[in-house]
Amino acid sequence: MRIATWNVNSITARLPRLLAWLESSGTDVLCLQELKCAAEAFPAEPLRELGYEAAVNATGRWNGVAVLSRVGLAEPVTGLPGGPAYEGVTEPRAVGATCGGVRLWSVYVPNGREVGHPHFEYKLQWFAALRELAVREPGERPFAILGDYNVAPADEDVFDPALFEGATHVTPAERAALAELRAAGLADVVPRPLKYDRPYTYWDYRQLAFPKNKGMRIDLVYGNPAFEAAVRDAYVDREERKGKGASDHAPVVVDLEV
């Protein structure tokens, strides 16, 4: 089974590329983030024509997540159980489903904005709720949380650590939140190095960041032991970041033997 995660930065803007990528990549299950569309505007029909069912959590603002599957979709859950609200709003940042016997969650972790901002505390609270999910839900079956974590796990996951000093995505508090997920029994299943020295997943649109490979690895796949044992290959599809109309994130792909 081929599973992937991709922050598409607007499914409406990216739909032609998304459909073409699904056809060419052989992906069975795709976790999407940053849909930027309302649930009623989600392009379910063209995806259904390719054989994909969808579990969607979206309200039309800057967030929105989905799980697409052509190997079955059961036990959908919309929203992070016990997750915090921000300024009174429960944002659409998580959706779970069981696909081909594998329990998966697509997550779009809050950005945090800047250290000391209320959104940064919200981000840490959101991670705490995510950890509780990782403790409660997996059981014996393969289980993984995929998505845009908005945290670079280590200094080698950003192109120049000195430029990020004091900024979000690299703080000890955020990295401790990832460590708590690992302590709950999950592992980062995308190894380093891959097919190139720095397997970044995100490059800003500005200042030629992608051609200069000034990126970050913030799109992650954290799986339980059953999921990790089934992994046969993993890679970042860097080619999909190229060309006109690309998202600023690349898909991360994991092949399982289940």
Using a 10 angstrom Cβ sphere, with 0-12 exposed, 13-18 middle and 19 or more buried, the burial of residue 75 is: exposed
Is 108 noted as a catalytic residue in this protein? yes
- Catalytic entry in 28, 52, 108, 122: 108
- Catalytic entry in 28, 52, 148, 157: 148
- Give the number of other Cβ atoms within 10 Å of residue 68's Cβ: 28
- 249 assigned to a ligand binding site: yes
Copy the structure tokens of residue 98. Answer: 């069981």
- 150 assigned to a ligand binding site: yes
- 148 assigned to a ligand binding site: yes
- 7 assigned to a ligand binding site: yes
Is 148 noted as a catalytic residue in this protein? yes
- 117 assigned to a ligand binding site: no
- 34 assigned to a ligand binding site: yes
Find, among 172, 88, 170, 178, the residue nearest to 127 by Cα: 178
Contact yes or no for 47/54 (Cβ under 8 A): yes
- Catalytic entry in 169, 188, 235, 249: 249
Which residues, at least 6 apart from 60, have a Cβ–Cβ distance to it below 8 Å?
Answer: 36, 37, 38, 39, 41
Residues annotated within the binding site for Mg(2+) are: 7, 34, 148, 150, 248-249
Residues annotated within the binding site are: 7, 34, 148, 150, 248-249
* Catalytic machinery residues: 108, 148, 249
